[in-house]
Structure 1
Amino acid sequence: MGGSSGGGAVGRRTFLAGAVGLVTAATLSACTFEAGPTPTTKTPTATPTPTGTPTPVPSPRSMMRSRWSHDPFARGAASFTAVGATDQNRIDLAAPVGDRLFFAGEACSVEQPGTVDGAIASGADAARALRDVAVGGERIAVIGAGASGLTAARALIEAGFTVRVIEARDRAGGRIASRSSDSWPVPVELGPWTIAEGDDAFRQQLDQAGVGYTTFDRIDDVRTSTGSTVTASPVGADAVTSAVEWSSGGPHDVTVDRALAASGAGALSTEKDADGVSPADWLAYDLNARVAPRTGASSDRLSAWNGGAAESGDGIGDFIPTDGFSEMVEKLADGIDVLTKSAVTQVSYTDTRVGIRLATGESLTVDRAIVTVPLGVLKGDALSFIPELPLTKARAISILGMGTVDRIWLRYDEPFWSSTATVFSTVGTDAAVARWVNLQPVTGDAVLVGTIAAGHASAIAELGDDAALAAVLPSLEPFLATPAEGTGPGSPTPTPPSST
């Protein structure tokens, strides 16, 4: 991943100069950065499993999970439009500061926020904006080696600039996080893991890297807590749409929850039908299994005006990869000088240059810089700017939301579930997992991928592996095969999973 950038390789000590340029000794001594967990926890923790009635759902042979809200280099999965926020805030976030400091990332995208496509497009936009004001041969720093940062870096190198990408992690890719192991028949994707039909830029990059993917044949199985299969009702989605339409006539933005309450659209009957499901249950199902997984936000934070609550989709795409997304990252990073394990703690800028301070104690001075760190990092105090960012940008960082969506992958030796559908969900329960994707019909292996969103994701991220597993397995109880069905055990004895 290292290599030449622009007119030739630039050594670390050549590019990095200790305590020079804009960073003073006093400000350097005040900079600290605490290391934190990686997106996946691969070893069991000491967190005890909650006591109570044990679930009949068997423990998996292997498990992998993300905890994006605990990742110090992400602080969440993707941005969302919180109440009071507008597209203008994303425009303000992307706006350059003078002609020295530029910003990019999915949170800067108006058209496709929260997506890999949005990150790629934003990186390309920032590179064009910088190129328009810079002189060929200038030294450029790109902070962050995710899809946005690598896209920007490649465009600038091709334009003749000397580029160094600075990445806090020990790898490139950012929130694109692939894990491969002999314990898994397919690469485990802990960040984005499916591809939507409209992800043109993402698919183009995958195709160029030779990353294979296949059509996902979606078949939904929605069940009650008792295991009865029911036909999904549109009443919940219709209520959300009605509330959003009502809010558009108001004098100011409100949350989706407030719009549902004030419009009356959320006042649905709690009377159960023959299947044991009420209209109110279908509303809760829509918010928890569609809106939250797609936005990463709970309905008490999401903007009714601009949060996209009425848009279709639940975050499950039209294609699934057969190769790891990391292969695309490797292709995109090929020939780019990427400095890993180097968290940036301070960015100082003037009308003539940009100074960058690293957690390692080193610093560098460049002509211009593109900042592509996630919105969650900008919201925290691990990275500071001198002088402080303009008020419009600071407001954008404050008002835009950072959502939480995590994945949990479970591998079994054989399926315990009775359904041949590819997407499992439950209605009338407060299931921790919004939806499970059954990869067995696609790969032939007994693998389930769960999506945990919003409040559930934040709560489960606080747990160790054993406790997290205990929290999510009950959501699979409605799909247990009975002994009479002959396709799996009825009440198998749980066994400790491997976290590899």
Structure 2
Amino acid sequence: MTVKRRTFVLGALSGASLLALTACTNGEPEPTPSPTRQNPTVPQPSAFWRSEWTSDPFSRGAFSYQRVGSTPEQRTALRQPLGDRVFFAGEHTSETFPGTVNGARASGHRAATEVIDIAEPGERIAVIGAGMAGATAARRLADAGFNVVVIEGRERSGGRIHTLEVDDESHVELGAAWVRSSSTNPLENELDDAGVTTRRFNYEWEHRTPDGAVVDTGTIGPDTIVTAIDWASEQPADVSMAAAIEGSADLDDRPNEQGISEVDLVADYVTTNLVVPTGAEPDDLSAWYAPDATLSHEDDRLVTGGLSGFVDGLLDGIDVLPSSAVASVSHDDDGVTMRLARGESLSAARVVVTVPLGVLQSGSIEFDPPLPFSHRGAISALGMGLQDKLVLQFEERFWATDATVWSVVDAETELPLWFNVEPSTGDNVLVALFGGEDAERLAELSDNDLVAAALRSLEPFVADETEEDDGS
């Protein structure tokens, strides 16, 4: 059963009316029904893969975000070392590039430099976490002559980078898969040097009604968000994006001839450009520090050559202990002791902790002495966004469009955002991204139920006879 989702209040609607993705209308004017296509059929995929970051105990989410009331300075507080013994890295400690692979990599370099500046030559250094931040720190430290051991809770390295090898030439990225602003992103050159291929991905959006009619969304979505952020910047205290939209928007809830109102268009834009990219609901996301949802993606590239291989290369020759979840970290003037969940203990002179923010928030690692209030306050204040991915492979193309980014302007759509990678890769592959409450809800579905929901969500893009005749 489809559940209506995501609500936020818009003061522009009458009184304290509630804006859902299926906003109520006053019944006037009556929309002209779109012609219903007869039995649009999406074929069964030949293969599918899904991520599970929302439920994964070693991530507990996809990436950090600025929760309403939090500040970027709390990321700086979170990376402060403890007594020259415990150091912190991870995308959640990056003020400049939070929530990104680039931020994780930069944080690993920064933490390693902090250790190198004070450690004695040849010391044993532990790194907790074999993701991008941990692998980067470990490589720097090993190259500097330290005795490095990496402790990883999963059976594999990579953290929230997870590549599945389909065959010798094809890979599926269930985690990070994009290089943003590639021409100015140093990661692009590093991937190229490591033999990890990326391909240009042209963002060409197409929005459709549930009946398959193409929707001209105009600029009301980005315009509303820009206005909301500007309005929030003038408030005496931080507010949520939901409150900022409520306080600044003047939207019409009356449906047009396609049955779509301004409210619907803004809700669709919020879902696809804020909720999915951040993993946060509008009433949780800071308006003071919200990401710019209007940024161009013209320079983005899609990773197609196996991003996990880059992390594995960084860890080459370094001692890695897989399936070794850390339960506690104790430190004093003499060094650091880490107790594993299975009961063993390890000692080192210093440790770099790179576990995700969601793991720190869960309290699954006990620190002795307890973390300072500055660290605990930052961990509590920042948000951990929920985002997951479903990748579907088909024997033949069934869709009617060459657009690369799809959405359905409808509250009942279970998977609202799709990426068509065929133009970039030549493969008949569609990728769904879903965040926030959608990710939490869909994480509870079985594989079969999730795929069934995905196929229903793709029905508006099935080519009908007219589109086929037009050569679309």
Same fold (TM over 0.5): yes
Could you tell me which of 256, 261, 275 is aligned with 1:278?
261
Shift of 1:414: 0.6
Residue 447 of structure 2 aligns with an amino acid whose one-letter code is: D
Shift of 1:401: 0.3
Aligned runs of 1:39-438 on 2, under 5 Å? Answer: 56-182=41-167, 186-198=170-182, 200-261=185-246, 263-265=247-249, 267-308=250-291, 310-312=293-295, 318-438=300-420
**Structure 2: distance between partners of 1:302 and 1:60:** 35
- State the secondary structure of the residue aligned to 1:297: coil
Shift of 1:110: 0.2
1:463 and 2:445 equivalent? yes
Do 1:244 and 1:304's aligned partners in 2 also have CA atoms closer than 8 Å?
yes
**Structure 2: distance between partners of 1:241 and 1:411:** 37
Structure 1 pair 430–291 and aligned structure 2 pair: CA distance change class (3 A)? farther
Do 2:151 and 2:322's aligned partners in 1 also have CA atoms closer than 8 Å?
yes
Structure 1 pair 458–74 and aligned structure 2 pair: CA distance change class (3 A)? same
**Structure 2: distance between partners of 1:451 and 1:292:** 10
- State the secondary structure of the residue aligned to 2:415: coil
Shift of 1:252: 1.1
Aligned residue in 1 for 2:6: none
Structure 1 pair 327–385 and aligned structure 2 pair: CA distance change class (3 A)? same
Do 1:127 and 1:152's aligned partners in 2 also have CA atoms closer than 8 Å?
yes
Shift of 1:204: 3.0
Residue 389 of structure 2 aligns with an amino acid whose one-letter code is: R
**Structure 2: distance between partners of 1:244 and 1:219:** 25
Superposed CA offset, 1:363-383 (max 9, x none): 111111000000000011321
Superposed CA offset, 1:82-112 (max 9, x none): 0111011100111111211000000000000
Normalised by the length of structure 1, the TM-score is 0.82
**Structure 1: distance between partners of 2:141 and 2:346:** 19
Shift of 1:433: 2.4
Shift of 1:219: 2.1
Aligned residue in 2 for 1:43: none
- State the secondary structure of the residue aligned to 2:161: coil
Do 1:185 and 1:445's aligned partners in 2 also have CA atoms closer than 8 Å?
no
**Structure 2: distance between partners of 1:310 and 1:418:** 27
**Structure 1: distance between partners of 2:439 and 2:215:** 26
Out of 147-156 and 238-247, give the one that drifted further. Answer: 238-247
Residue 402 of structure 2 aligns with an amino acid whose one-letter code is: T
**Structure 1: distance between partners of 2:71 and 2:190:** 29
Shift of 1:192: 0.9
Do 2:231 and 2:248's aligned partners in 1 also have CA atoms closer than 8 Å?
no
**Structure 1: distance between partners of 2:134 and 2:337:** 18
**Structure 2: distance between partners of 1:347 and 1:480:** 54
Do 2:40 and 2:462's aligned partners in 1 also have CA atoms closer than 8 Å?
no
- State the secondary structure of the residue aligned to 2:433: strand
Do 1:55 and 1:474's aligned partners in 2 also have CA atoms closer than 8 Å?
no
Out of 430-439 and 239-248, give the one that drifted further. Answer: 430-439
**Structure 2: distance between partners of 1:245 and 1:98:** 41
- State the secondary structure of the residue aligned to 1:68: coil
**Structure 2: distance between partners of 1:72 and 1:352:** 31
Do 1:225 and 1:427's aligned partners in 2 also have CA atoms closer than 8 Å?
yes
Superposed CA offset, 1:365-414 (max 9, x none): 11110000000000113211111100000010111000011110001111
Out of 411-420 and 214-223, give the one that drifted further. Answer: 214-223
**Structure 2: distance between partners of 1:396 and 1:483:** 56
Shift of 1:275: 3.5
Out of 387-396 and 466-475, give the one that drifted further. Answer: 466-475
Shift of 1:361: 1.5
Structure 1 pair 371–317 and aligned structure 2 pair: CA distance change class (3 A)? farther
Residue 269 of structure 1 aligns with an amino acid whose one-letter code is: D
Do 2:153 and 2:322's aligned partners in 1 also have CA atoms closer than 8 Å?
yes
- State the secondary structure of the residue aligned to 2:199: strand
Do 2:68 and 2:239's aligned partners in 1 also have CA atoms closer than 8 Å?
yes
**Structure 2: distance between partners of 1:76 and 1:95:** 23
**Structure 2: distance between partners of 1:311 and 1:72:** 33
Aligned residue in 2 for 1:36: none
Residue 259 of structure 2 aligns with an amino acid whose one-letter code is: G
**Structure 1: distance between partners of 2:333 and 2:103:** 29
**Structure 2: distance between partners of 1:264 and 1:478:** 33
Do 1:178 and 1:187's aligned partners in 2 also have CA atoms closer than 8 Å?
yes
Shift of 1:309: 5.3
Residue correspondences, number:
431
Aligned residue in 2 for 1:46: none
Do 1:214 and 1:319's aligned partners in 2 also have CA atoms closer than 8 Å?
yes
Shift of 1:332: 1.4
Do 2:196 and 2:305's aligned partners in 1 also have CA atoms closer than 8 Å?
yes
Do 1:120 and 1:201's aligned partners in 2 also have CA atoms closer than 8 Å?
no
The answer for unaligned runs of 5 or more in structure 2 is: 1-38
Do 1:194 and 1:317's aligned partners in 2 also have CA atoms closer than 8 Å?
no
Shift of 1:362: 1.0
